[in-house]
Chains A and B, each alone.
Chain A
């Protein structure tokens, strides 16, 4: 049931159910009651007998060799159980380096520190206040080294973050970097298609712009938290992680153990957004638990999240050749500020890098995308996996070109839009990507062709749109198990992490649709690597598609086995005998199970030496945003009065949750556009708290916010569905910048779009620039 909406809130999305009516229905979240009563299970709630609490002592310099660490005062504090440095860790893990792309990150600083806030030592105590106080008594002495913070400077800097590159070996395109010295480039991806030189030579117009996006933070309201405990069979890690299978494999690798000795359990997450991927605290708590033979819990504070993972700042230089209103060539150079450890940055550099030319049909393209080490907090995935940084640039650029050519921004886009069947930059033919439909619906809902009130006096109004797209990361695997009990009740086992996106509910809907039971009756078992099968991770909007397909296959397998059971016990096909009776007939009592399994990995062809491939991705996500803004030209303040988000999500599995994903993603990107920025002073973060780093509150969001999923089907998706968690982010930043220029004539090329920047630009445009 949908509540009445008296305010001008989010729009009502059409319900399109199919078959048994479970897919396409706004099933309330399965765990909704647990969440509104405060009883949902988070790692935060976990307390184990004899558990010690760890508090981390962190580096105060951006780059330096550790001369000494004095832990004597900390050790002497009554109540302290133990103080641990990397030398202790090495007693249980001799090679304590981890990471998904590079094995570059030590469990605690080893000889060197690479950024301010890097973990150097840990204090263990039963009382967290004592552990915290003791950590503040530790002193470290460093030989400071030259540091580099800017991604462009990192390309040529004499300051080199790592003495030697250590690719993990899992990715073939990183092999050539093994053992490389004197470089900060953690990956360089290059794509060449057609002849851009010729395109530029023959162009009527050439445009070149450079854009920058800033470091921002995920800040899930549940900060990072992990617990490790030894068991009679190995080690159990309870962790707020989006990637339980990765954690198991990586911890097993670090320990030299078989996978089955490491058990990783994940309850609900209090938000993730890409922060809680790969290894964060898991290796540290595992090593500590082994070292002291007691359970160890580490819960980070809000401040410490700033020293754990950020979103990549990026500089993007984009150059386009235009002839007869068509973009005929495009050069893209992107530099990603990866911070001190690679995390998943090299994958962002390539997997998102290849979409840098945007959702346009451009014959001649070159892309150079660089992942850089710098002496800042490591950067990783954040709701969009690099795409919002790219769309920010190419959709600002598109608008600037249209404006300069005096072309309508919608028509200019439509003239160049990438249609199904046409080749994207990689050469992969587009399929099931409703880019034009998203543009059309956006233009229609924004009423872009109609005259527009431009405001009066010092209050100027403007509007803008932007459309972006993303390739789902490939190849990745998901496996699911569906279990039908003897009473007919159904349980799903899968390692997808429900961090608020509603995956439990969506997966239950898939199972319910196939087995013809209410989605609300399906039990979803949370990730527990002893129980739930492998899944690559909950990231990049991949789960609804990949796990959805695995779940669909598992449920179909169970259904086929149920039909076989019916035949076996002599029940004619098509008869309406309850499942419980089938079990009763076979086992003569309430006994037995039917187990269905499903495994899904899409096709994929890795790129060749020119970055080209006929099969880059299993599906494309498309998202666009339109905004209306008011700019106060006396102060530079901007108010976004209206925001419309339109996306291609395939068939909406749960229309209510699709809406919350679109508006939630757009609001997060709205924060990154208008207000959020990690401030650095010589590598030191100066605003690491909610007092100084402001995320959007309920008063900040646009008064009118509407969301729409266009009519679309993903042919290869489960019941026509595809991922939706990130699509709402794509267009937000450039749409607002485009609207600001539309309102007051100034163009900003660096995020965030603060009142100060706008006011300075206005003053400069008036020939009265402000002093710095």
Chain B
């Protein structure tokens, strides 16, 4: 067991964790954050996606101990004072969530995508989101949501 200190959704926190514990377990069991979810447990579905120092990682494989001294952002850290981010708004409007279990991972990954490619084409969207699975297959709506958000974000920047 060891104590780790990290920034969680903007707040300084610490936790006593076992070496084998993943960040998704710690977020769930110590901080009551359920938006990152373990599903395939192999880093292949993207349901457990969290950002560590701004980069998306598979929370089911990322050991909590590695988060020591880092900045961790979860889906719960995006909306401020109940105001959705443009990407969340777009997912909502485009009907890009069906059962919603994979949605946080897609929203976070879409954020990474739009940081790298503010005006992505279909191939870039598909490539970036190929590591996130949606069994409800809301893929056409997810692509539409990303494009909608991209347009709004670009409009907001100019």
**Using a CB–CB distance below 8 Å, which chain A residues touch chain B?**
1-7, 9-10, 26, 28-29, 31-40, 42, 44-45, 47, 129, 218-223, 268-273, 301-302, 499-502, 656-657, 659-660, 663-664, 667-668, 689-691, 695-699, 701, 703, 705
Determine whether B111 belongs to the interface, using a CB cutoff of 8 Å to chain A: no
Q: Are A668 and B44 in contact (CB under 8 A)?
A: no
Q: Residue among A42, A270, A668 with the most chain B CB within 10 A?
A: A270
Q: Knowing that A9-B140, A45-B34 are A-B contacts, what are 9 other residue pairs whose CB atoms are under 8 Å apart, sorted by A's residue number?
A: A33-B88, A38-B34, A221-B133, A221-B135, A271-B136, A660-B95, A660-B141, A664-B137, A701-B140
Q: Are A220 and B135 in contact (CB under 8 A)?
A: yes
Residues of B contacting A37 with CB < 8 Å?
A: 35, 75-76, 78-79, 84, 88
**Residue on B nearest A47 in the bound complex, by CB:** B29
Q: Are A222 and B76 in contact (CB under 8 A)?
A: no
Which among A44, A218, A705 is the interface contact of B34 at CB below 8 angstroms? A44
Q: Give the CA-CA distance A587 to B73 in the complex, in Å.
A: 51
Q: List 28 A-B contacts (CB under 8 A).
A: A5-B144, A7-B147, A9-B140, A9-B144, A28-B93, A36-B92, A36-B103, A37-B76, A37-B88, A38-B74, A39-B76, A45-B34, A221-B37, A221-B47, A269-B99, A302-B39, A302-B40, A500-B100, A656-B95, A663-B140, A689-B42, A690-B40, A695-B133, A695-B135, A697-B130, A698-B126, A698-B142, A703-B122
**Residue on B nearest A498 in the bound complex, by CB:** B99
**Residue on A nearest B107 in the bound complex, by CB:** A36
Q: Give the CA-CA distance A703 to B140 in the complex, in Å.
A: 9
Q: Are B94 and A3 in contact (CB under 8 A)?
A: yes
Q: Residue among A36, A220, A301, A664 with the most chain B CB within 10 A?
A: A36
Q: Are B34 and A42 in contact (CB under 8 A)?
A: yes
Q: Give the CA-CA distance A486 to B94 in the complex, in Å.
A: 35
Determine whether B62 belongs to the interface, using a CB cutoff of 8 Å to chain A: no
Given A7-B122, A44-B37, A698-B143, does the pair A35, B97 have CB atoms closer than 8 Å?
yes
CB-based closest 9 A-B pairs: A38-B35, A500-B99, A270-B101, A35-B100, A667-B137, A38-B75, A500-B98, A38-B104, A3-B148
Determine whether B52 belongs to the interface, using a CB cutoff of 8 Å to chain A: no
Residues of B contacting A273 with CB < 8 Å?
A: 135
Q: Is the interface of B mostly helix, strand, loop or mixed?
A: loop
Residues of B contacting A39 with CB < 8 Å?
A: 34-35, 76
Residues of B contacting A36 with CB < 8 Å?
A: 84, 88, 91-92, 97, 100, 103-104, 107
Q: Give the CA-CA distance A555 to B74 in the complex, in Å.
A: 40
* Chain A min CB distance to B38 (Å): 9
Determine whether B41 belongs to the interface, using a CB cutoff of 8 Å to chain A: yes
Q: Are B98 and A502 in contact (CB under 8 A)?
A: yes
Q: Are A691 and B100 in contact (CB under 8 A)?
A: no
* Chain A min CB distance to B50 (Å): 10
* Chain B min CB distance to A724 (Å): 13
Q: Are B36 and A38 in contact (CB under 8 A)?
A: yes
* Chain B min CB distance to A221 (Å): 5
Q: Is the interface of A mostly helix, strand, loop or mixed?
A: loop
For the A-B complex, the count of residue pairs with Cβ-Cβ distances under 8 Å equals 181
**Residue on B nearest A272 in the bound complex, by CB:** B99
Residues of A contacting B97 with CB < 8 Å?
A: 29, 32, 35-36
Q: Give the CA-CA distance A29 to B138 in the complex, in Å.
A: 14
* Chain B min CB distance to A152 (Å): 31
Determine whether B2 belongs to the interface, using a CB cutoff of 8 Å to chain A: no
Determine whether B63 belongs to the interface, using a CB cutoff of 8 Å to chain A: no
* Chain B min CB distance to A698 (Å): 5
Q: Give the CA-CA distance A499 to B97 in the complex, in Å.
A: 11
Residues of B contacting A44 with CB < 8 Å?
A: 34, 37
Determine whether B70 belongs to the interface, using a CB cutoff of 8 Å to chain A: no
Determine whether B64 belongs to the interface, using a CB cutoff of 8 Å to chain A: no
Determine whether B7 belongs to the interface, using a CB cutoff of 8 Å to chain A: no
Residues of A contacting B103 with CB < 8 Å?
A: 35-36, 38
Within 8 A of A (CB), among B1-60: 18, 20, 28-29, 33-37, 39-42, 44-45, 47
Q: Give the CA-CA distance A668 to B138 in the complex, in Å.
A: 11
Q: Give the CA-CA distance A576 to B26 in the complex, in Å.
A: 55
Q: Give the CA-CA distance A7 to B134 in the complex, in Å.
A: 19
Determine whether B157 belongs to the interface, using a CB cutoff of 8 Å to chain A: no
Given A37-B79, A38-B75, A699-B126, does the pair A3, B132 have CB atoms closer than 8 Å?
no
Q: Give the CA-CA distance A500 to B139 in the complex, in Å.
A: 14
Given A28-B93, A36-B84, A40-B100, does the pair A3, B144 have CB atoms closer than 8 Å?
yes
Q: Give the CA-CA distance A222 to B44 in the complex, in Å.
A: 14
Given A38-B104, A270-B37, A690-B44, does the pair A698, B130 have CB atoms closer than 8 Å?
yes
Q: Are A696 and B137 in contact (CB under 8 A)?
A: yes
Residues of B contacting A218 with CB < 8 Å?
A: 135
Residues of B contacting A223 with CB < 8 Å?
A: 39
Residues of A contacting B114 with CB < 8 Å?
A: none
Q: Give the CA-CA distance A506 to B23 in the complex, in Å.
A: 37
Residues of A contacting B65 with CB < 8 Å?
A: none
Q: Are B133 and A301 in contact (CB under 8 A)?
A: no
**Residue on B nearest A26 in the bound complex, by CB:** B95
Q: Are A33 and B92 in contact (CB under 8 A)?
A: yes
Q: Give the CA-CA distance A738 to B97 in the complex, in Å.
A: 32
Q: Give the CA-CA distance A499 to B100 in the complex, in Å.
A: 9
Q: Are A220 and B141 in contact (CB under 8 A)?
A: no
* Chain A min CB distance to B126 (Å): 5
Residues of A contacting B129 with CB < 8 Å?
A: 698
Residues of B contacting A502 with CB < 8 Å?
A: 98
Residues of B contacting A32 with CB < 8 Å?
A: 91-92, 95, 97
Q: Are A668 and B95 in contact (CB under 8 A)?
A: no
Q: Are A271 and B133 in contact (CB under 8 A)?
A: no
Given A36-B107, A271-B135, A691-B44, does the pair A220, B34 have CB atoms closer than 8 Å?
no
Determine whether B72 belongs to the interface, using a CB cutoff of 8 Å to chain A: no
Residues of B contacting A38 with CB < 8 Å?
A: 33-36, 74-76, 103-104
Which among B91, B92, B99 is the interface contact of A220 at CB below 8 angstroms? B99
* Chain A min CB distance to B16 (Å): 14
Q: Are A270 and B99 in contact (CB under 8 A)?
A: yes
Residues of A contacting B127 with CB < 8 Å?
A: 699
Q: Give the CA-CA distance A691 to B95 in the complex, in Å.
A: 29
* Chain A min CB distance to B54 (Å): 18
Residues of B contacting A42 with CB < 8 Å?
A: 34, 37, 101
Q: Are B42 and A690 in contact (CB under 8 A)?
A: yes
Q: Are B140 and A10 in contact (CB under 8 A)?
A: yes
* Chain B min CB distance to A410 (Å): 26
**Residue on B nearest A704 in the bound complex, by CB:** B140
Residues of B contacting A10 with CB < 8 Å?
A: 140-141
* Chain A min CB distance to B69 (Å): 24
Q: Are B45 and A690 in contact (CB under 8 A)?
A: yes
Q: Residue among B88, B98, B131 with the most chain A CB within 10 A?
A: B98
Within 8 A of A (CB), among B84-131: 84, 88, 90-95, 97-104, 107, 122, 125-127, 129-131
* Chain A min CB distance to B146 (Å): 10
Q: Give the CA-CA distance A657 to B126 in the complex, in Å.
A: 22
Residues of A contacting B98 with CB < 8 Å?
A: 271, 500-502, 660, 664
Q: Are B20 and A668 in contact (CB under 8 A)?
A: no
Given A9-B144, A129-B20, A222-B37, does the pair A271, B88 have CB atoms closer than 8 Å?
no
**Residue on A nearest B20 in the bound complex, by CB:** A129
Which among A26, A301, A660, A690 is the interface contact of B138 at CB below 8 angstroms? A660
* Chain A min CB distance to B100 (Å): 3
Q: Are B100 and A701 in contact (CB under 8 A)?
A: no
Which among A9, A40, A301, A657 is the interface contact of B41 at CB below 8 angstroms? A301
Q: Are B130 and A4 in contact (CB under 8 A)?
A: no
Q: Give the CA-CA distance A40 to B101 in the complex, in Å.
A: 9
Residues of A contacting B130 with CB < 8 Å?
A: 697-699
**Residue on B nearest A218 in the bound complex, by CB:** B135
